[in-house]
Structure 1
Amino acid sequence: MARIAFILLAHKDPAGVIAQAERLTEAGDFVAIHFDGRSPTPDFERIRTALSANSRVCFARRRIKCGWGGWSLVAATLAAVRAATQAFPTATHFYMLSGDCMPTKSARYAHDFLDANDVDYIENVDFFNSGWIKTGFRDERLIYRHWFNERRQKKLFYISYEIQRRLGLTRTVPAELDIRIGSQWWCLRRQTIESVLNFVDSRPDIIRFFSTTWIPDETFFQTLVPHIIPRGQIRNRTLTFLMFTDYGMPVTFYNDHYDLLIGQDYLFARKISAEALDLRERLGALWNSDETSFAISNEGRGLYRFLTGRGRAGRRFAPRFWEKDSSVGRQNQLMIVVCKKWHVAKRLTAGIRARSDLPAVDFLFNESGSHLPDLGGIDRSLSKLQRHRRAAVRMLFEHYGKSRLVICLDTSNLELVRDFMADKSNTRILLIDSDFDDDYLRGHLQRVGLVGETISDSAYRRLIPIMRADLQHEAELLSDLVGPALFQISRYKSDLENAEQLSGFLGVDNKVALELAQTTDLFRD
């Protein structure tokens, strides 16, 4: 059975470190602690005194003064790993943790998970071609020597770099190494850890190289493990769930994230707020429970992007340079049906095609196969249609030989509505007002990929009001944009009221408008 030696790197919150060590060892596992040499000595003594009677806890032989981005973090990790291998001969796995990590599964589940596959878990992707590094130094991390810490010795760091760059003092990456990069939160088997330590002891030249590499905690183990261990015995992933904001900062989790965290396919999560006492208590109790059945949905990252993206700048309203001089045409009249429930809009456009000579296409910018004719290739790709939207619509007018055209847009396509309204053409907007019951919203959350089928009911109950408000907000934004000129139909209006709106929108006589308003099951879900 798997027995885990947790390699715990911490620099603050002695009470939290003590609680974490006691929690992890209570389930039969081990903990090796490195407490930052820059942190107060009384804090370290408090930890050591509190855990002195716990035979499943050990400490790195010396406290290394750590600094972000430097070799010190790897040195501290190696010190804790060496202490763990000596103190815990029965440990089968070694798992990197920080002081703000918490379990998202039970210890029993974690042990079964590791027993099921005799592999190492470490994220490792190609350093040069993976795109893992988004901004800042890339090759410069390796080909120049970095003796100073960028955060504490910023001036010296960049002076040293600039001197080397100007004088061409580059170095060669060890030819035998395929440099890899990834998260520092790994879980490795005992034989892998022992092989890494033997390699480190036998190759001081490799240590010298990495000791002056910038941010080596993202490359050292990530490079050496695939160098030593056959690729078939490595899973290219971490078992610790973590996310980053748009600004490259770790996402912090709070009390209301419990259901989200346990639904991810990970054993731990980083980073849990020190103030999220309820979340910490619940996750701590979960680790020492007998729970082994978890509904894995993995919707965490998608939900985070959705919930944090509301109202963020990210939608463009101005035309691209290739669209600046394009126009749907001053002589043309574009009629846009805007509706969140696509099936309702499609019933209306089907009726328009059947009862009038107006050409009507469905959600051409949202889905393929929207009653589009051959437009010479632009129609084959949604990205092309969206990129050249005015040109595409103008081609539709030309294809049909008409000066009037109906298209459909989702209520989320506010930028497209704005773009068409700014055009020289005569644009009319019809909003099909929709109501959203819980069943529809539950299905919508799944359709857009924000949740999986196994998400808990409690999580749904929290998300449904957010989604309902978001959809209602889309309609409100459209009303604000179009103003009094907005035509609108609804299931709560009479057929005559809806017919009046359709007649004004489409420019058809009252009889045709009433037939459209009376379309069988027009508003049915």
Structure 2
Amino acid sequence: MAKIAFILLCHKDPDAIIAQAESLTAAGDYISIHFDASASAAHFDQIRKALGDNPNVCFSGKRIKCGWGEWSLVQASLYAVEAAVEAFPRATHFYMLSGDCMAIKSAEYAHDFLDRDDVDYIESFDFFDSDWIKTGFKEERLIYRHFVNERTNKWLFYKSFNLQRRLGLTRKVPSDIEVMIGSQWWCLRRRTIEWVLDFTKKRRDVMRFFRTTWIPDETFFQTVVRHVVPNEEIRTRSLTFLMFTDYGMPVTFYNDHFDMLLSQNFLFARKISPEATDLKARLGALYAKEGERFQISGDGRRMYSFLTGRGREGRRFAPRFWETEATLGRDRELMIVICKKWHVAKRLVEQVRSHTNLPAIEYLFNEEATELPDLGGIQSTMAKRTRHRRALLRMLFEYHGTNRMVICLDPANIDFIEDFAADKCTTKSLEMVCEFSDDFLAGHARRVGLAGAQTSKDIIDKLMPTIRYDVVFESERLRDAELENFYQLRETGSVDANTSALIEFLSIPPETAREIATTEHLFAD
């Protein structure tokens, strides 16, 4: 009969970890725990004291500090796996878990399920041909070396990446390896785990390669398992049930999800809300039950899509993002560059990116083609961006892992500017005051549809006073709004005046502000 050794990576909530370990081992299974070395030492002592006498619990021989997207997550998994292989010789399967996972079937059901087929369960899709990666880096994860964490040292991460790209310092994937990608929540047979560990000792070249890839927990086991195990012995699926919202966020399960979770064709679910005490208690007791029967419908994702698609509100599937997060955040700072000449503003924010660690996003509410990360669809159309603008900006703050961000807006968007200025966050506005030639204004008239390609010069000349007044009016309206933290960067202004404006607007050192203010051809058409 199958006996499972659970591999648990965790970093918080010692009470929940203890309860999870006690629940899983009460049914005769095992658990190997790696507790993040950067987490609380007191919490780790609490876990060891509570579980130290449990013969079905072991701890990693080494503890390391883990970071999202780093090799450290894979290394921590390997340490926990090695400890489990040595401590539990009767374990037939090894199942990867997080502290947010809980069983949604009994141990009896799980063991019968695993005994049914002599296979491994792991998502492993072709890295290059599949669409598993929706946005962001793809081949860049592999062909460049990533030495620092993007979330903790964003500036150095992208500095290193851009330098390698500029110098052409790419590398090749080991020739006999086909890189795969998929969820990190796998369940592997003992034989497979032993083959993987043997592979790590023999193939130092592959280990060196993966140590400097980005987000290797989505590729390492997925690739190595496919390399050492015949395809017919692999089921390309996870046994852990999880869903994502329209905005790319993991769905959190609450007390009223109990029946729905039990009906899914999975053994575990992620992620369970820490506040769902009733759900956690019921699921914790479930694993040790015998004779339990489960009616599998597998309709969780369809039901979720149906209900959320009709705007359902309530705890079952969580309120809409913009209903719970109507503000950008009291501790955040939004800096708005306002300019009619979009190419001039883009030139400025390019300098901001080069000289500071600030994320700077161009005309996201004016240009459909503005490059944005995949945020689950909210960024996909201009209508969605406009309708849910505060939600969009909040998600961009979270995506970039920062509390300070720069965006560009056209001065015609006075309602947006006033809306953001009224938010609880700190909002700063910088108007780039440009000089407008007749040729520029004529081109502007064509761009906005006031004139066409065949419109005669006479008609353009008649329109010119109105067009010029419109541009002036938008600038005057900004000043009349009496915005707090409002600054101007003038084409005709002195270097000292423009430097002072940039110091106040960006909160940067004077020497950096002067470098930006003296950018060659900053206001050029």
TM range (shorter): 0.5 to 0.7
- Alignment partner of 1:20 is 2:43: no
- Alignment partner of 1:82 is 2:92: no
Counterpart of 2:159 in structure 1 is 159
Measure how far apart 1:142 and its partner are.
Answer: 0.5
Counterpart of 1:475 in structure 2 is none
Task: Find the aligned partners of 2:48 and 2:205 in 1 and give their Cα distance.
Answer: 35
Task: Find the aligned partners of 2:2 and 2:88 in 1 and give their Cα distance.
Answer: 13
Summarize the alignment of residues 34-49 of structure 1 with structure 2, pairs less than 5 Å apart: 34-49=34-49
Counterpart of 2:182 in structure 1 is 182
Counterpart of 1:69 in structure 2 is 69
Task: Find the aligned partners of 1:292 and 1:114 in 2 and give their Cα distance.
Answer: 17
Task: Find the aligned partners of 2:237 and 2:187 in 1 and give their Cα distance.
Answer: 10
Counterpart of 1:215 in structure 2 is 215
Counterpart of 2:107 in structure 1 is 107
Task: Find the aligned partners of 1:223 and 1:259 in 2 and give their Cα distance.
Answer: 35
Structure 2 counterpart of 1:302, one-letter code: R
Measure how far apart 1:203 and its partner are.
Answer: 1.0
Measure how far apart 1:310 and its partner are.
Answer: 2.0
Task: Please list the CA deviations of residues 411-436 of structure 1 after superposition, one character each: whole Å capped at 9, or x if unmatched.
Answer: xxxxxxxxxxxxxxxxxxxxxxxxxx
Structure 2 unaligned residues grouped into runs of 5+: 312-319, 322-525
Structure 2 counterpart of 1:78, one-letter code: L
Counterpart of 1:203 in structure 2 is 203
Task: Find the aligned partners of 2:42 and 2:219 in 1 and give their Cα distance.
Answer: 33
Measure how far apart 1:247 and its partner are.
Answer: 2.5
Task: Find the aligned partners of 1:255 and 1:82 in 2 and give their Cα distance.
Answer: 36
Task: Please list the CA deviations of residues 28-53 of structure 1 after superposition, one character each: whole Å capped at 9, or x if unmatched.
Answer: 00000000111010000000011011
Task: Find the aligned partners of 1:67 and 1:249 in 2 and give their Cα distance.
Answer: 19
Task: Find the aligned partners of 1:72 and 1:200 in 2 and give their Cα distance.
Answer: 15
Counterpart of 1:245 in structure 2 is 245
Task: Find the aligned partners of 2:259 and 2:154 in 1 and give their Cα distance.
Answer: 41
Summarize the alignment of residues 114-133 of structure 1 with structure 2, pairs less than 5 Å apart: 114-133=114-133
Runs of 4 or more consecutive aligned structure 1 residues displaced over 4 Å after TM superposition: none
DSSP-derived class of the 1:91 partner:
coil
Measure how far apart 1:175 and its partner are.
Answer: 1.3
Counterpart of 1:268 in structure 2 is 268
Structure 2 counterpart of 1:37, one-letter code: A
Task: Find the aligned partners of 1:11 and 1:87 in 2 and give their Cα distance.
Answer: 22
Structure 1 unaligned residues grouped into runs of 5+: 314-525
DSSP-derived class of the 2:158 partner:
helix
Structure 2 counterpart of 1:73, one-letter code: L
Task: Please list the CA deviations of residues 112-165 of structure 1 after superposition, one character each: whole Å capped at 9, or x if unmatched.
Answer: 000111100001111111100001000100010000101111111110000011
Structure 1 counterpart of 2:164, one-letter code: Q
DSSP-derived class of the 2:8 partner:
strand
Task: Find the aligned partners of 1:151 and 1:250 in 2 and give their Cα distance.
Answer: 19
Measure how far apart 1:260 and its partner are.
Answer: 1.0
Counterpart of 2:170 in structure 1 is 170
Task: Find the aligned partners of 2:263 and 2:150 in 1 and give their Cα distance.
Answer: 37
Structure 2 counterpart of 1:289, one-letter code: K
Task: Find the aligned partners of 1:103 and 1:226 in 2 and give their Cα distance.
Answer: 26
Structure 1 counterpart of 2:2, one-letter code: A
Summarize the alignment of residues 503-518 of structure 1 with structure 2, pairs less than 5 Å apart: none
Task: Find the aligned partners of 2:16 and 2:242 in 1 and give their Cα distance.
Answer: 19
Superposition TM-score, scaled by structure 1 size: 0.59
Task: Please list the CA deviations of residues 239-295 of structure 1 after superposition, one character each: whole Å capped at 9, or x if unmatched.
Answer: 000111222221111111111111110000000011100001111111111144211
Task: Find the aligned partners of 1:185 and 1:155 in 2 and give their Cα distance.
Answer: 31
DSSP-derived class of the 1:225 partner:
helix
Summarize the alignment of residues 71-470 of structure 1 with structure 2, pairs less than 5 Å apart: 71-311=71-311
Task: Please list the CA deviations of residues 35-80 of structure 1 after superposition, one character each: whole Å capped at 9, or x if unmatched.
Answer: 0111010000000011011011000012110000000000000000
Task: Find the aligned partners of 2:306 and 2:37 in 1 and give their Cα distance.
Answer: 40
DSSP-derived class of the 1:58 partner:
strand
DSSP-derived class of the 1:188 partner:
strand
Higher mean displacement: 85-94 or 237-246? 237-246
Task: Please list the CA deviations of residues 468-524 of structure 1 after superposition, one character each: whole Å capped at 9, or x if unmatched.
Answer: xxxxxxxxxxxxxxxxxxxxxxxxxxxxxxxxxxxxxxxxxxxxxxxxxxxxxxxxx
Task: Find the aligned partners of 1:178 and 1:303 in 2 and give their Cα distance.
Answer: 36
Task: Find the aligned partners of 1:209 and 1:246 in 2 and give their Cα distance.
Answer: 34
DSSP-derived class of the 1:70 partner:
coil
Task: Find the aligned partners of 1:241 and 1:291 in 2 and give their Cα distance.
Answer: 22
Bigger radius of gyration: 1
Measure how far apart 1:304 and its partner are.
Answer: 1.2
Structure 2 counterpart of 1:190, one-letter code: R
Higher mean displacement: 292-301 or 254-263? 292-301
Higher mean displacement: 54-63 or 284-293? 284-293
Task: Find the aligned partners of 2:76 and 2:162 in 1 and give their Cα distance.
Answer: 29
Task: Please list the CA deviations of residues 224-250 of structure 1 after superposition, one character each: whole Å capped at 9, or x if unmatched.
Answer: 001000001111100000111222221
Task: Find the aligned partners of 2:249 and 2:173 in 1 and give their Cα distance.
Answer: 29
DSSP-derived class of the 2:97 partner:
strand
Task: Find the aligned partners of 2:207 and 2:171 in 1 and give their Cα distance.
Answer: 15
Measure how far apart 1:309 and its partner are.
Answer: 2.0
2:174/2:205 contact within 8 Å kept? no
Counterpart of 1:355 in structure 2 is none
Task: Find the aligned partners of 1:180 and 1:246 in 2 and give their Cα distance.
Answer: 25
Counterpart of 1:438 in structure 2 is none
Task: Find the aligned partners of 2:48 and 2:151 in 1 and give their Cα distance.
Answer: 29
Task: Find the aligned partners of 1:281 and 1:228 in 2 and give their Cα distance.
Answer: 39
Measure how far apart 1:93 and its partner are.
Answer: 0.3
Task: Find the aligned partners of 1:291 and 1:160 in 2 and give their Cα distance.
Answer: 57
